[in-house]
Structure 1
Amino acid sequence: MASTITRRALAALAGAGIAALAIGSAAAADKPRIAAVVQSLDTEFNVLWANAANSHPLVKDGTVTLTVLDGRMDALTQSNQFDTAISEKYDALIFVPVDINAGNDPVQRAKDAGVPVIGSNTLISNTDLYKSYISSNDVEAGKILAKSVFDKMGGKGNVVIVEGMIGQSAQVQRLEGIEATLKEYPDIKVIEQKTANWSRAEALSLVENWLTAHPDEIQGIIGENDEMAIGALEAVKGHGLDPKKIPIAGVDGVTDALLAVQRGEMMSTLQDADAQAQGAIDLALAAVQGESYQPKAKVWDVNGGKLAWEGGKSQHYSVPWVPVTGENVEALLAMRKTQ
């Protein structure tokens, strides 16, 4: 399989839905078969995640068959994809859930059927159902987001919070981190808070309305992901305001956010899609093949990475966040061009 897949190609694969799983079931019986049920293939971060999964060395060389399925931001769609993957006897599943609670039932069904499930990126509430999971600490992300904005505001003033899709683990946990940090800044006041569903367009409209309703009253903007932070940035610029005077922060390190950091217009923290996706492939293969499996992703200590592999036996692996700065943004943009 090619080392990278375009968003259009991924969407086409996902559009095949159950047919894509059926094709996978026809693969050589001796190849481990993994289905990755992801939130959506309509945002850059999820596409980066899927590209990274398809770039895993054992997927690229055909040793492993990987099918990536688009959950289309719908918990029922993901649940149906689980049932199909179970019936098609996939060896393991990787799950990036839409909803923190609705995702529990399909994982339980897979576990009951003897199919190991590896969590990646966003999580279900009952993480004990996973064989193992690899993610970044979203509570910590919320704290990083809030502190970066509050400090740029001088520790006082009015802030607005653009939330992700309500009920997703990243939305729940990033908000928890933001609220914990708010307690440390008594002179910061939240004057607006609402979801924009991880969408740049929705955030643009939302923040435009807030800027109209609160002229000259918004001193900082927190976006729970980069897409929404970029939408907020566009709204600020559309109102003729200087973004360098209204701190805006997001999370993920998508390309447009890196470029905005480079221009000094916003702040971002990179979420390592490569580590989360390829690490999940290794954990899935360890679940299938046992202790003899040797990991191939660069994230592990055996390959000079930052995480201890520990035989693939730990239930939770936490990928560090990478703050995007003026010093590292050029290197991150150069790396993005090769992905």
Structure 2
Amino acid sequence: MKTKALGLFVVGLLIIGMVASSGIAAEKSYKIGAAVYGLKAEYMRLWTTALERHPAVVSGLANITVFDGNYDASVQQSQFETMVTQGFDAIIFVPIDIEAGAAAVELAASEGIPVIGSNTRVNSDKLTSYIGSDDVQSGAMEADAVLKKIGYKGNIVIIEGPIGQSAQIERRKGNLQVVEQYPDVKVLEMKTANWSRAEAMALMENWLSAHPGKIEGIIGQNDEMALGAIQALKAAGLDPKDFGIAGIDGVTDAMLAVKAGETVSILQDAKAQAQGALDLALRALIGDDYMPQADCWTQYADGMPWGDKLEPIYNVPWTPITLENVDALLEEREALTKR
């Protein structure tokens, strides 16, 4: 019996050796963390869903763990410490704060862990690469849409994202670049609602009371806040179609509001930013021989080429949502979110 067992053991070792030498052995699975600023709003949930459906995750090449930062820079710092301690191979970072996030990147870099930024920026020269969209440009695009609706004159309010996050900083810059071109436009209020529909609704209710009959345009630095403002208008018996309103992201309810003629929205491609980030993380780990698996590199090949080496910044183009393309975009959204 012992001789038979030993023989089976030797045969087993030979088979394992043959499989490994023939290249049939399972490919390495990379342990990658995704530290996102928060998951309350639809956009980051879309981003996360897209990441988890990346072909490399489906095949097992990448093993993804998503960390909810709960809109707190200290929580994100703690999560980086956990990922470093647990030996993650790479980290995808969507920071809540452009400055505070630098310490987290520094920590990971000191341990040789590549960090790929996505969606929002961090002021760190230790970041391996970044994929997102030009928020100054989107801020200018939405501001121009609102001012065009009100005839480039009148009173507007601006609902900002979390103060200190790159999207808030850069979208405000874009907003004001356009507003300052028109001396007949006055900004009555500009405050944060932290990307929250509920907070924006409460803020807008206060502004409608403070400036009765005077607000003509509403710039929401994301769709959730623009939608919150629309809810406040409706609750006050006002028709959103009588106002210039714009948001950014292309969340599902915003697309429906575009169809209803209540707002303007600009699509920020969550799938491209998330799946593109994972391709960049795998490229940093495997090398330039790694070929991307996400379709964003084909879709945006002209403006965002894969290239022959890892670049520091990749910008995903914006897509204005119109009556002509909204139904097709809603179909793509349904395909992404259905199980």
Residue in structure 2 matched with residue 239 of structure 1 by the alignment: 236
Q: Please, which of 123, 129, 136 is the counterpart of residue 132 of structure 1? A: 129
- Answer yes or no: is 1:287 the counterpart of 2:276: no
Amino acid at match of 1:32: Y
SS in 2 for 1:109: helix
- Answer yes or no: is 1:167 the counterpart of 2:170: no
Amino acid at match of 2:110: D
Residue in structure 2 matched with residue 329 of structure 1 by the alignment: 326
Listed one character per residue, the Cα deviations across residues 165-224 of structure 1 (whole Å, up to 9, x for unaligned) are 111110011001111111211111001111111110010011011111111100100000
- Contact 1:94/1:284, CA 8 A, preserved across alignment: yes
- Contact 2:27/2:61, CA 8 A, preserved across alignment: no
Distance, in Å, in 2 between the alignment partners of 1:29 and 1:327 is: 44
Unaligned runs of 5+ in 1: 1-27
Listed one character per residue, the Cα deviations across residues 138-159 of structure 1 (whole Å, up to 9, x for unaligned) are 1111101110000111000000
Matched residue count:
311
Residue in structure 1 matched with residue 62 of structure 2 by the alignment: 64
Residue in structure 2 matched with residue 48 of structure 1 by the alignment: 46
Residue in structure 1 matched with residue 249 of structure 2 by the alignment: 252
SS in 2 for 1:85: helix
Listed one character per residue, the Cα deviations across residues 253-307 of structure 1 (whole Å, up to 9, x for unaligned) are 0000000001111110000000000000000000000111000111114996752
- Contact 2:300/2:317, CA 8 A, preserved across alignment: no
- Contact 1:223/1:250, CA 8 A, preserved across alignment: yes
SS in 2 for 1:33: strand
Amino acid at match of 2:213: D
The TM-score normalised by the length of structure 2 is 0.89
Amino acid at match of 2:85: S
Distance, in Å, in 1 between the alignment partners of 2:304 and 2:333 is: 22
Task: Say what the alpha-carbon RMSD is for the aligned residues.
Answer: 1.4
Listed one character per residue, the Cα deviations across residues 3-43 of structure 1 (whole Å, up to 9, x for unaligned) are xxxxxxxxxxxxxxxxxxxxxxxxx9931111000011111
- Contact 1:302/1:309, CA 8 A, preserved across alignment: no
SS in 2 for 1:317: strand
Distance, in Å, in 2 between the alignment partners of 1:313 and 1:203 is: 39
SS in 2 for 1:118: strand
Distance, in Å, in 2 between the alignment partners of 1:125 and 1:189 is: 32
SS in 2 for 1:194: strand
- Contact 1:299/1:306, CA 8 A, preserved across alignment: no
The TM-score normalised by the length of structure 1 is 0.89
User: What's the offset of the Cα at 1:163?
Assistant: 0.6
SS in 2 for 1:95: strand
- Answer yes or no: is 1:116 the counterpart of 2:114: yes
Distance, in Å, in 1 between the alignment partners of 2:114 and 2:139 is: 30
Q: Please, which of 54, 63, 75 is the counterpart of residue 77 of structure 1? A: 75
Aligned residues with identical type, % of pairs: 52
Counting only pairs closer than 5 Å after superposition, residues 7-22 of structure 1 correspond to structure 2 as none
SS in 2 for 1:115: coil
Listed one character per residue, the Cα deviations across residues 123-143 of structure 1 (whole Å, up to 9, x for unaligned) are 1123x2211000000111110
Unaligned runs of 5+ in 2: 1-25
SS in 1 for 2:88: coil
SS in 1 for 2:155: strand
> Where in structure 1 do 4 or more consecutive aligned residues deviate above 3 Å?
301-306
Amino acid at match of 1:256: D
- Answer yes or no: is 1:300 the counterpart of 2:297: yes
Change (3 A) 1:121 1:247: same
